[in-house]
Amino acid sequence: MKKSSKLSNGQEKENSSYKKLKNTEFEISNNTKRGNFFNIFDYIFIIAFLLILLSNIFSFGAISWQLSSFGRVFLIKILPYYDWRPLKNEQCLIKRPFSDTERTRSNLNCDLCEDTFEIDAHKSLEEDILEERYINIDVPVILTTGVEKWPKDSKFMIDIQNDSSFVKSYPCGLSTNINKGVADVGTILSKQIYFDHFFIHFQNCELEAMRTLRKYIYRPDFLPSAYSPTLYNWLIWNENYNTTNYKHVDLVEKVAIVGQLFGTTSFRLKPRKNCANVCTDLTFNLHGGEILIFTSLWDLEYRPNDIGENMAVIMEY
């Protein structure tokens, strides 16, 4: 009887310990599930917080502009390998596989340029004529008046180089024979005094630097109001630089204006993509006070002038 009683007590203790162990496991399991449950909501909260934070960051103009400029530099870098420019106006970037007929339609419309062998020049044009006769059908045109208030020599560069936002900015699309490697605009322009013959062109891809140049290079009054504000601007400056090579300028916006401030620059418009073998290259000179207006059907190149000092600007819209 005593042995039986001891066995019974032992079994009860074992049962009791087993129940406690099961209860403990159950509590741990519940706590773990609750922990996982709360962790999921923690992750959702963190993601939502980061999205809100990024949204607020992008709402600041300067930061948003800097990010867009970095993206623009990347897009320019990949242009030699993939021409993405036709996609910028597409509503859908992912399309179903297409037939040869549809593939042909995706090319540029060379009918617009195959009969263009020279560029019309006008003293002035009404807005509607400029837009309908030229811009909307990708036909380049030169205007010989309309920018009389623009600088007529390089003296304004002395003032512009006193603007810290301009000289401390880093240029995009830089090409020059007076600097090697990466440098800010002020460092590059300061070297110009050591050279009797030089060329330089670059894009202002920082917002404040672009605004600084806009103080001197006003938006032309003849330009239709739809093309505002200026998205990017470029400076082309050379002196006594003798070369037969044309310099390519990586423009990406739909409409561009090239204005010759002073001197003379030789430009060349080259039909893009499938139109390269259909349409003719257009070579011409721009003189001080003249403006070229053209669209993204054409690529732009220029050749520095070997006589005197010459400066032009480019505005993209």
Domain layout of the chain by residue ranges: 1-59, 108-316
pLDDT at 289: 96
pLDDT at 131: 94
CATH architecture of 108-316: Sandwich (2.60)
DSSP the chain: -HHHHHHHHHHHHHHHHHHHHHHHHHHHHHHHHHHHHHHHHHHHHHHHHHHHHHHHHHHSHHHHHHHHHHHHHHHHHHTTT---GGGGG-S-S------HHHHHHTS--GGGTTT--S-EEES---HHHIIIIIGGGT--EEESSS-TTS-SSTTHHHHHTT-HHHHTS--EEEEESS--S---HHHHHHGGGG-SSEEEEEEE-SHHHHHHHHTTSPPPTTS-TTS-S--EEEEEEEES---SPPEEE---SSEEEEEEEESEEEEEEEE-GGGGGTSPPEEEEEETT-EEEEETTEEEEEE--SSSEEEEEEEE-
pLDDT at 307: 94
pLDDT values of the chain reduced to their tens digit, one per residue, 317 residues = 444 444 455 555 555 555 555 555 555 555 554 555 456 666 677 787 777 776 666 565 555 555 665 666 666 556 556 655 555 545 555 555 544 444 445 589 999 999 999 999 999 999 999 999 999 999 999 999 999 999 999 999 999 999 999 999 999 999 999 999 889 999 999 999 999 999 999 999 888 999 999 999 988 888 888 887 788 899 999 999 999 999 999 998 899 999 999 999 999 999 999 999 999 999 999 999 999 999 999 999 999 999 999 999 999 98
pLDDT at 102: 42
Global confidence as pTM: 0.70
